[in-house]
């Protein structure tokens, strides 16, 4: 079997740029390993079009970028390639080898929008109702309350761990059990209030009855670890993942997945995008609109399963 062809050597001026990145800029070896093939590709494009690299214009770079897209390269790969090309011309500009940077203004394609992952209704409810297998009744009460609030209120993990037992001058968030409302400080330091449903309030009451077993007398945090201090976000993620496994869910579950599930299920039932926006605390409704795509996916599955004309022969 023949050996793979050796990559073409870099032109001396490009090699000096790579050396500059390695020695003076101290770029990580992994970054250099991505930049060098990109620079060889630039060199090959210029040679194929019989264009001297230092004389390349913006229309040349746009055409070469289009060729990357035609090859089906991902947006991240194209972004790295353009970063290498742009860096080369910026370096040559500082060395007075070129008068302008022809890569300026050329942007990689936007990555495809990935839909947030949401649990089916039955799985989300199973998780919210699950009891931890922990031998400690205190841990069981705490973990159950966490799951109920994440799914029942759509809280972000930072909002949940910041909750205090009661309002106060330094409290970022708290739950008013009397009127069934959670008051939280969200992104952009924006306060919002969300309703807390009956099951979550019951779980909260059960946890508060046990909380004193863990919490120090002067600890304001609603959720505390076994050491008595405020529960951290990593600790909460670990406990939720364990609870999901014990509930028999077939996927890894993280706190934000329950927020996505909350939003998706609300939208499926109500169709009220503005209300869901307010409940989630989104500043822009375009952020909330992504859940309409999730809702459409749900409707498409219903159609495929139920409509006679959807059946494939």
Q: Which residues are catalytic?
A: 156, 187, 256, 259, 282, 291
Nearest partner of 117 among 250, 306, 226, 307, judged by Cα: 250
Closest-CA residue to 276 (of 295, 289, 293, 263): 263
**How many Å apart are CA 222 and CA 136, to the nearest integer?**
18
Phi first, then psi, for residue 3 (nearest 5°) are -65, 150
Cα 47 from chain centre: 41
Q: Dig out the tokens for 291 from the structure.
A: 């859940």
Beta carbons within 10 angstroms of residue 20's beta carbon: 16
> Which of 162, 126, 133, 152 has the alpha carbon at shortest distance from 253?
126
What does the alpha-carbon distance between residue 162 and residue 160 come to, in Å, rounded to a whole number? 5
Query: For the range 295-303, what are the long-range contacts, defined as Cβ-Cβ under 8 Å and sequence gap of 24 or more?
Result: 295/264, 295/267, 295/268, 297/115, 298/264, 298/268
Kindly state the tokens that stand for 244.
């999901």
């Amino acid at each position: 079997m023949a050996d793979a062809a050796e990559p073409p050597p870099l032109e001396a001026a490009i090699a000096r740029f790579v050396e500059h990145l390695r020695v003076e800029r101290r770029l990580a070896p992994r970054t250099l390993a991505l930049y060098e093939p990109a620079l060889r590709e630039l060199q090959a494009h210029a040679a194929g079009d019989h264009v001297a690299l230092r004389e390349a214009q913006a229309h040349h770079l746009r055409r070469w970028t289009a060729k990357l897209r035609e090859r089906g390269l991902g947006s991240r790969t194209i972004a790295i390639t353009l970063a290498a090309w742009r860096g080369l011309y910026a370096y040559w500009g500082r060395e007075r080898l070129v008068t302008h940077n022809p890569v300026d203004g050329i942007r990689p394609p936007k990555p495809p929008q990935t839909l947030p992952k949401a649990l089916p209704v039955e799985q989300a409810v199973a998780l919210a109702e699950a009891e931890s297998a922990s031998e400690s009744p205190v841990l069981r009460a705490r973990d159950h309350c966490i799951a109920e609030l994440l799914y029942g209120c759509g809280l972000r993990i930072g909002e949940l761990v910041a909750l205090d037992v009661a309002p106060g001058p330094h409290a970022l968030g708290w739950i008013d059990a009397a009127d069934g409302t959670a008051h939280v400080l969200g992104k952009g330091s924006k306060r919002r209030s969300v309703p807390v449903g009956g099951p979550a309030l019951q779980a909260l009451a059960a946890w508060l009855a046990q909380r004193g077993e863990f919490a120090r007398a002067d600890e304001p945090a609603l959720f505390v670890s076994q050491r008595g201090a405020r529960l951290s976000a990593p600790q909460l993620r670990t406990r939720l993942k364990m609870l999901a496994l014990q509930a028999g869910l077939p996927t890894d579950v993280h706190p934000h997945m329950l927020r996505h599930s909350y939003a998706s299920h609300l939208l499926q039932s109500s169709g009220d995008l503005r209300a869901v926006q307010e409940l989630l605390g989104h500043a822009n409704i375009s952020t909330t609109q992504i859940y309409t795509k999730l809702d459409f996916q749900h409707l498409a599955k219903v159609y495929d399963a139920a409509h006679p004309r959807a059946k494939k022969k």
